[in-house]
Structure 1
Amino acid sequence: MKQVLIINITRMGDLVQMGTLLARLQEEWPGAAVDLIVDRQFTPVASMLNGLRDVVAYDFHALIDESRACVKDAVALYREVAAWARDLHERRYDRIINLTFNRPSALLAEYVGAPDIRGARSAWDGGTVIDNPWMAYFTDIHQIRRINRFNLVDVYAMGGSRPGSFAPLSVTAPAESGDWACRFLSSSDQPHLEWIAVQAGASDVMKAWRPQHFGAALARLSAAWTGGILFIGSASEQETIAQVIQVYREGGGRNAMRNAAGRTTLAQLVALLAQCRLLLTNDTGPMHLAVGVRTPVIDLSVGHVDFQETGPYGPGHWVLQPDLDCAPCGFEQVCPHQACKDRIPIDAVSDVMRHVLGKGPAPTVAPGFRLYRSDVDEDQLGAFHLAAGREDPTIAWYAAFWRRYWYERFSGRPSKRPAPAGSPPDADTASAHAETLLPVLEGLCRRADHIVRLAGQMPVSAHTIQSLQHEQAQERERAVHAGMAAWITRPLTTTFLRDLHQDNVQGLVRMARHHADAYRRWRDETLAVSRLVSTAQRAPKRLSMMTGSPQAVIG
């Protein structure tokens, strides 16, 4: 029997998003025993996931606090964790999947040990390396998020296992929680009332639609729907909920209401979501719980949230995103205006709710925002289709191009998803950009090979090597700046930078060879992509990213 250990210790939503990975592991290795390491506070979530043999909990937040406060020295902390993990080490796992990309989790993965470690693991010098291409892509997304079209659910599944048949997220609450939910929502005068759930708050105010907008949208819905409204969230969101209700009442809303925020266990929350017709929400952990119990989600994607990464997975959900050049903004960006929160029209949100409830059509005109419908694509991955609004044609073309390119490169199999039609809107400037960059990359490769030769000579000419490395660094800085300036080269430049610095090798010669290999891959892949784009210009057919030649339509 195969044994797999998953390390996932950061957020509740990340745990729920493992559902497809758990299903895919059973498809790859039927009967595999899968264990999960979580932070102690997330044990209730882990207990509702399907496909786990054992949930192993530890108070990692306390460990981090003790480390920062220097309550114990590093050696003592390491010994405590090593003693706790000794039993895991003795289980002799066949594979470890580390979905927490930090140094402590990398040390833990290396200590427990397995012949196949995917995700973060320790380098020989205590640093962190990531070997699996899908897991490495996860660390690159923040640089290319405008054109990323892989949901993290699929990145986890293909990185931890492999491509396969579509598998939805799944969470299961205990039966007693379902009974409790029925009692909580029951009404003596309206025993069969239908309910919708609303989460108006979020862990980060940057990614929350304005409370007054929630209230106005719900008031507009009440004119066409007589069911109940259930508010969910944490106890800290009571003020937000009060603002929503005030605006709702002022707008003439008269639906029945229940407030469950901060008043349920996690299992009870899951059971409540399972009873609801839909969930209107910001990007939150409960959004993924709703997906896991097959409740349709309407996701309001504002702030630094990118629904392409973390939106509701699988068919049957809807996403509204503001149509702004700055959306989504960067994680570390402090926005002075937060205009995105006012670009999603209140009427549009109400109309989408009415559509999900079977009370009207979905919006087809979308000034100021985009409406997406979630689905499953030809490669059995989660996808979002534009239902209303407009996308930047250049972004749309490169998003489709790179989606196929990475899928075929990482999986080693042809994509069934159609290639973008014709050539990119910036075809002429893109080709010129690549042609200008390629000679620079060729020069970097030659200098890197020269450094390899010098490093292998005895005695080593340290001064000469240092001088060449200085020249290399200056030229590399210019090349990286140019490579990041266009979508035809930015993804490969991002990959190169990560590849270059993941130098898990010892010795001057090996280090020099590692760097030379990184430069060579950067040059070769830039050349291959340039040729693919040129081929699209000459013959606007569907291209195979694996061969670069026009192919017949598949699927």
Structure 2
Amino acid sequence: MGTHLRENLLLAALKIVRRFDRRQPEMARLGGPTIKKILAISCTAIGDTLMSTPAIRSLRLAYPNAHITLLLNRTHIPLFTNNPDINETLPYDGGYKRFLRLAVGLHRRHFDLAVILHGNEPQATPLAYLSGADFRFKLPNNNQFRFLLSNHETIQRWEDFGHGIEQRLAVAVLAGGRATDRTMTVVTTEQARQRLLARLENRNITEEATLVGFQAGASTVSRRWPAERFAELAKRLLADNERTWIVLSGSRNERALAEKIATLIDSSRVWVAAGEPGIDELPALFGRMRVLVSGDTGPMHLAVAVRTPVVALFAVSDWRRSGPAYDLDRHQIIQKWRTCSPCLSKRCPYTEPPCMNNISVDEVEEAIREIVLQKRGNALTTGNGPSV
């Protein structure tokens, strides 16, 4: 059965169900003690879920005794299990294959409130409704399933918001959440830290080594800086200081790209870490780095969360919406322009997008130097390695 046919059948079925739904919850309950079970949905990429953590904290502040369940991508669960604002995590596998089973499982938990902080449609809004929650909030709310939301009347689009964290915080406020800052929450456990230290020792990477992280992969080709430029940058940094190590981070799917860059660098002080550390070790890994060079990626957000300085490379996307959202004095952001009109973004036809090619090795190297010179003191107080 085709995806569009499934979506149309789901839409038709839910319109019938909604017509006979007699629930009329009192909005005055929001923010009060009768909200005992909360479903938070943030089931897309790592960076998206990290950006949802301030909104979850907002809900925790408003509902200190509520049981908060986070529905998220199955593979990301270990990264959020120890978040102090979350009581429980549930896996989301995407698509329609397990949709009905998941909907039934959510309904049996008797949620009072459901918030969609960031989720794929057409599944996210129907799941929030089928959970049985009296209140359901989502922004933007301009999709065809908005009739299932408690905030369906005033339509808001992505263009009505600034940074992604602000969009999520706006959802939390609709749900009765309290004011909080933009700081993302991620926890490094001692067990994960020790496993990471063992990996470093096995590679003879000492405590005195300066780790410079490269996140070359990205969710779309349009967000990738060319491999050859990463390699050239690495050669310069390695030649400048014998204590410097290059760490090529990424997922298993990005390992081939990382190995290509390592081959181009041709140095013994390169660790191809892509796909190797467990996901729960990543906060410790990025926390150990002196700086991370990355495009618009989840690892970039993870580095920001553990207060590691980043050199963030942007062209297709706007850093004001998806870049570092706080501690801006700690980071260096390079924003270039879109070279194609219209920009195809996720469907970019180029192996090496010309917009990312506009970022030179010289300016990235200069940005790294700027971080090293100006943030030397911060590096010693945040658990990062010594400066380059």
TM range (shorter): 0.7 to 0.9
2:332 alignment counterpart: 318
> Are residue 152 (structure 1) and residue 170 (structure 2) matched?
no
Structure 2 equivalent of residue 184 of structure 1: 199
Contact 1:218/1:350, CA 8 A, preserved across alignment = no
Structure 1 residues 360 and 56: CA distance shift in structure 2, 3 A: closer
Given candidates 190, 197, 200, the residue that maps to 2:213 is 197
Measured at CA, do residues 110 and 236 of structure 1 come closer, stay the same or move farther in structure 2, by a change above 3 Å? closer
Rate the CA distance shift 1:30–1:136 in 2: closer, same or farther, 3 A. farther
What are the superposed Cα offsets for residues 296-338 of structure 1, whole Å, 9 maximum, x if unpaired?
1211113x33322211231122221224565993435545683
Contact 1:270–1:289 under 8 Å retained in 2: yes
Question: Aligned-pair RMSD on alpha carbons?
Answer: 3.3
Deviation for aligned residue 1:55: 1.1
Residue 140 of structure 1 aligns to which amino acid in structure 2?
W
Instruction: Look up the equivalent residue of 1:38 and give its one-letter code.
Output: L
Partner residue, 1:531: none
Q: Within 5 Å, give how 1:34-45 maps onto structure 2.
A: 34-45=68-79
Could you tell me how far apart the structure 1 residues matched to 2:283 and 2:249 are?
11
Residue matched to 2:158? 140
Query: Aligned residue for 1:522?
Result: none
Shift in CA distance, 167/98, structure 1 to aligned 2, threshold 3 Å? closer
- Aligned partner of 2:146 in structure 1 is 128
CA contact (8 A) 2:248 2:271 kept: yes
Q: How many residues align?
A: 332
1:312 alignment partner AA = P
Q: Distance in 1 between matches of 2:207 and 2:118?
A: 44
The whole-number CA distance in structure 1 between the counterparts of 2:79 and 2:154 is: 23
Q: In the alignment, which of 223, 228, 234 is matched to residue 212 of structure 1?
A: 228
1:113 pairs with 2:132: yes
Query: Larger RCO: Structure 1 or Structure 2 (Cα < 8 Å, ≥ 6 residues apart)?
Result: 2
- Taking every aligned residue pair, what percent have the same amino acid on both sides? 22
Partner of 2:190: 175
Alpha-carbon distance in 2 for matches of 1:210, 1:102: 32
Return the match for 2:298 from 281, 285, 306: 285
Distance 1:353 1:166 in 2: 27
Listed one character per residue, the Cα deviations across residues 99-129 of structure 1 (whole Å, up to 9, x for unaligned) are 3252322222112233331117999xx8434
1:152-207 CA distance string (max 9 Å, x none): 01110122225734241121122111011122223658442121211112232221
Unpaired segments ≥5 residues, structure 1 = 68-76, 142-147, 362-555
Q: Superposition pairs for residues 352-363 of structure 1, below 5 Å? A: 352-358=367-373
Counterpart position of 1:305: 317
Amino acid of the residue matched to residue 83 of structure 1?
Answer: V
AA partner of residue 136 (structure 2):
I
Alignment-derived partner of residue 47 in structure 2: 13
Q: Post-superposition shift, 1:82?
A: 4.1
CA–CA separation in structure 2 for the residues paired with 1:121 and 1:279? 31
Q: Which residue of 2 aligns with 1:237?
A: 254
- Please give the alpha-carbon distance, in whole angstroms, between the structure 1 residues aligned to 2:205 and 2:93: 46
Higher mean C-alpha displacement, 38-47 vs 291-300: 38-47
Measured in 1, the distance between the counterparts of 2:118 and 2:74 equals 16
Amino acid of the residue matched to residue 46 of structure 1?
A: F
Using a 3 Å threshold, how does the CA distance of structure 1 residues 327 and 199 change in structure 2: closer, same or farther? farther
* Paired letter, 1:194: T
Pairing partner for 1:267 from 280, 283, 286: 280
Normalised TM-score (structure 1) = 0.54
TM-score if structure 2 supplies the norm length? 0.74
What residue identity is the alignment partner of 1:293? V
Mapped to 1, the partners of 2:248 and 2:155 lie a distance apart of 38
What is the letter of the counterpart of residue 258 of structure 1?
A: W
Mean alpha-carbon deviation: is it higher for 272-281 or for 220-229?
A: 220-229
Q: Quick check: 1:197–1:278 contact (8 Å CA) kept in 2? A: yes
Alpha-carbon separation, structure 2, partners of 1:310 and 1:134: 27
Choose from 104, 107, 110 the match for 1:86.
107
| Counterpart code for 2:258 | I
Q: Which amino acid aligns with 2:104?
A: A
Are the structure 2 counterparts of residues 24 and 245 from structure 1 closer, same or farther at C-alpha, using a change threshold of 3 Å?
same
The separation in 1 between residues aligned to 2:179 and 2:337, in whole angstroms, is: 34
C-alpha contact (below 8 Å) 1:305/1:328 kept by paired residues? no
Deviates more, 1:194-203 or 1:42-51: 42-51
Compared with structure 1, are the counterparts of its residues 332 and 189 closer, same or farther at alpha carbon in structure 2 (3 Å cutoff)? closer
Contact 2:336 2:355 in 1 (8 A): yes
Cα distance per residue 1:211-269 (max 9 Å; x no partner): 001111222223444321111112333332233234434xxxx6722221111210122
Q: Which has the larger radius of gyration?
A: 1
Alpha-carbon deviations, 1:520-547, whole Å to 9, x = none? xxxxxxxxxxxxxxxxxxxxxxxxxxxx
More helix by share: 1
Structure 2: which 5+ residue stretches go unaligned?
1-32, 377-388
Give, as a single letter, the amino acid of the residue that structure 1 aligns with 2:275: G
* Secondary structure, aligned partner of 1:4: strand
Closer/same/farther in 2, CA of residues 192 and 270 from structure 1, 3 Å limit: same
Q: Name the SS of the counterpart of 1:209 in structure 2.
A: coil
The DSSP-based 3-state class of the residue aligned with 1:106 is: helix
